[in-house]
């Protein structure tokens, strides 16, 4: 027999669930046709408003094609798209009214129109196996003529899960100044060139989780920005598949607010034209406490690009130009990558403002190679105000990793291979201090020149690293500022070090 106490408990639980169950509003009940021809904006917005006025709940989209202009979410309202349901953006720009953002940010200069939008809302979201199609091919021209697909501004508690987002005219998803964002199992298909259709933009937001997403887009796949004065922080990204015509995972370029406490792990990158990992602090602000791990890349333009620059873009046009920012505390571990180009990875700061405290550990990178030894002597312009991209300096003096204006760089278990023989060193360091290099491997085929080249390097330790073959030196030194460089040999042979005439005789030594 079931006791009265258990029955009473079940009754109370059922009552509690009934009281807390959220109401649902079917867009068909509000007059939406869902035939892909009639404009359903007014009917859908009426369903959203009614649901919000009732205290929140779900707005249901049964199978159909719902042609619409701008929709504005209300507090505690979630759009639920059933399988076979498509929210289809209107091809007419007039169906997307100009809306002023509640906070200033540089993105206001890009576009002020959007398909699905919430500003200052709480507990809002989109879920279900349906699709949101921006009809992006209907739009062309400058930023202002191309609406965002999904945009949340200053919202608290945002949940987007299970949907497919496709063919955006501008950024696919933009989360500006939001707190508590959860994006899971979202599929992006928007791979069109030259229309700025980033897959996910997290902008000056906090407490963000992105997981299990599959993104194929024309612009950066997952990009963190700080276009407002506040930082983008406390972000975890895991288990995603990324492919793009631009960068797969990027911090920047807009970075005036900076970045803090960022984690990317267990991701796959393929068919990506620019960098697999691009960290760019160029508009003031501070980038720090970034951890990237367990990333595999196939066919990328350049696996790793780290840049501290001085573009100096402010929050809004006309504001004072910010000063040079800071870049420190980055760990990149467990990366395997193959590149489609001969471009080296790079870590570059500015004179007197180095990139600091970067660790690369367990890194295996194969580039195309084919460069000649003359490139090792090429002068590289500083270009402090240039737009940051891995190709910004042209061919670099290394085939694997080029480092300039860095301090506290640690390289451990780094393998830098090439497909075709390359006359450049695997590693080139210029104006660097406090380097720690352990178990660095270059190409397996013997080559002339040096495995590593240091210019004006101060305080460096090299261990468990050997040249390949008798023709290759371990290290070439140049520059009168070279000092305190210690190279550990082994019992089999002393490492071969070649020093230019301007290098002080006391600049380097062998240790055991």
Residue ranges covered by each domain of the chain? 220-512
pLDDT at 15 over 80: no
Decide which of 111 and 360 is more confident: 360
Q: How confident is the model at residue 20 (pLDDT cuts 50, 70, 90)?
A: very low
pLDDT tens for 283-294 read: 999 999 999 999
Residues 128, 64: Cα–Cα separation, whole Å: 14
Which distant-in-sequence residues (6+ apart) come within 8 Å of 322 by Cβ? 256, 283, 284, 285, 312, 313, 314
Please give the structure tokens belonging to residue 401.
């990793």
pLDDT tens for 39-97 read: 999 999 999 999 999 999 999 999 999 999 999 999 999 999 999 999 999 999 999 99
How far is residue 183 CA from its own chain's centroid? 15
Question: Among 233, 211, 220, 357, which Cα is nearest to 276's?
Answer: 220
Question: Among 117, 115, 118, which Cα is nearest to 67's?
Answer: 115
Instruction: Please give the DSSP secondary-structure letter assigned to residue 43.
Output: H
- The three-state secondary structure class of 22 is coil
Residues 203, 177: Cα–Cα separation, whole Å: 6
How far is residue 159 CA from its own chain's centroid? 20
- Looking at residue 23, its pLDDT comes to 62
Give pTM, 2 decimals. Answer: 0.93
Omega before 253 within 30 of 0, i.e. cis:
yes
Kind and range of the H or E run holding 435: strand 427-441
Q: How confident is the model at residue 471 (pLDDT cuts 50, 70, 90)?
A: confident
Which distant-in-sequence residues (6+ apart) come within 8 Å of 395 by Cβ? 342, 343, 371, 375, 378
Phi/psi at 441 (nearest 5 deg)? -120, 135
- The three-state secondary structure class of 397 is coil
Q: What is the mean pLDDT of residues 314-326?
A: 90
Phi/psi at 53 (nearest 5 deg)? -65, -25
Phi/psi at 259 (nearest 5 deg)? -140, 140
Residues 134, 146: Cα–Cα separation, whole Å: 10
């Amino acid at each position: 027999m079931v006791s009265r106490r258990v029955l009473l408990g079940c009754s109370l639980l059922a009552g509690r669930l009934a009281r807390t169950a959220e109401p649902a509003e079917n867009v068909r009940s509000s007059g939406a046709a869902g035939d892909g021809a009639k404009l359903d904006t007014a009917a859908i917005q009426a369903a959203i408003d009614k649901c919000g006025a009732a205290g929140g709940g779900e707005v249901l989209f049964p199978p159909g094609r719902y042609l619409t202009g701008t929709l504005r979410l209300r507090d505690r309202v979630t759009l639920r798209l059933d399988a076979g349901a498509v929210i289809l953006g209107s091809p007419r720009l007039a169906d997307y009214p100009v809306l002023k953002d509640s906070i200033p940010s540089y993105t206001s200069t890009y576009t002020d129109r959007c398909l699905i939008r919430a500003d200052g809302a709480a507990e809002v979201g989109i879920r279900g196996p349906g699709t949101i199609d921006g009809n992006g091919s209907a739009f062309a021209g400058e930023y202002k003529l191309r609406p965002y697909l999904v945009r949340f501004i200053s919202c608290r508690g945002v949940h987007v899960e299970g949907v497919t987002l496709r063919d955006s005219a501008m950024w696919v998803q933009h989360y500006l100044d939001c707190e508590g964002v959860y994006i899971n199992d979202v599929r992006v298909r928007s791979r069109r060139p030259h229309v700025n259709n980033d897959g996910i933009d997290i902008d000056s937001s906090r407490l963000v989780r992105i997981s299990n997403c599959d993104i194929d887009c024309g612009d950066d796949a997952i990009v963190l920005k700080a276009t407002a004065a506040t930082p983008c922080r406390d972000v975890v990204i895991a288990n995603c598949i990324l492919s793009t015509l631009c960068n797969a995972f990027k911090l920047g370029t807009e970075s005036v607010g900076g970045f803090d406490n960022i984690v990317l792990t267990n991701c796959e990158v393929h068919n990506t034209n620019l960098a697999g990992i691009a960290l760019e602090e160029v508009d003031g602000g501070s980038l720090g406490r970034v951890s990237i791990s367990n990333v595999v890349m196939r066919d990328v333009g350049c696996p790793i690009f780290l840049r501290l620059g001085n573009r100096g873009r402010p929050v809004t046009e006309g504001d004072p130009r910010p000063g040079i920012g800071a870049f420190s505390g980055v760990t990149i571990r467990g990366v395997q990558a193959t590149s489609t180009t001969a471009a080296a990875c790079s870590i570059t700061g500015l004179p007197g403002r180095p990139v600091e405290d970067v660790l690369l550990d367990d890194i295996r990178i194969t580039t195309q190679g084919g460069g000649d030894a003359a490139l090792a002597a090429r002068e590289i312009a500083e270009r402090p105000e240039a737009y940051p991209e891995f190709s910004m300096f042209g061919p670099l003096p290394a085939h694997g990793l080029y480092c300039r204006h860095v301090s506290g760089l640690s390289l451990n278990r780094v393998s830098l291979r090439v497909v075709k023989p390359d006359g450049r060193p695997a590693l080139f360091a210029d104006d660097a201090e406090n380097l720690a290099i352990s178990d660095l491997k270059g190409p397996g085929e013997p080559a002339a020149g040096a495995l590593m080249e240091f210019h004006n390097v101060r305080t460096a330790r090299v261990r468990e690293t050997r040249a390949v073959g008798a023709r290759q030196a371990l290290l070439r030194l140049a520059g009168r500022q070279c000092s305190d460089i210690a190279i550990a040999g082994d019992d089999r042979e002393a490492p071969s070090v070649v020093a230019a005439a301007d290098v002080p005789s006391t600049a380097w030594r062998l240790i055991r």
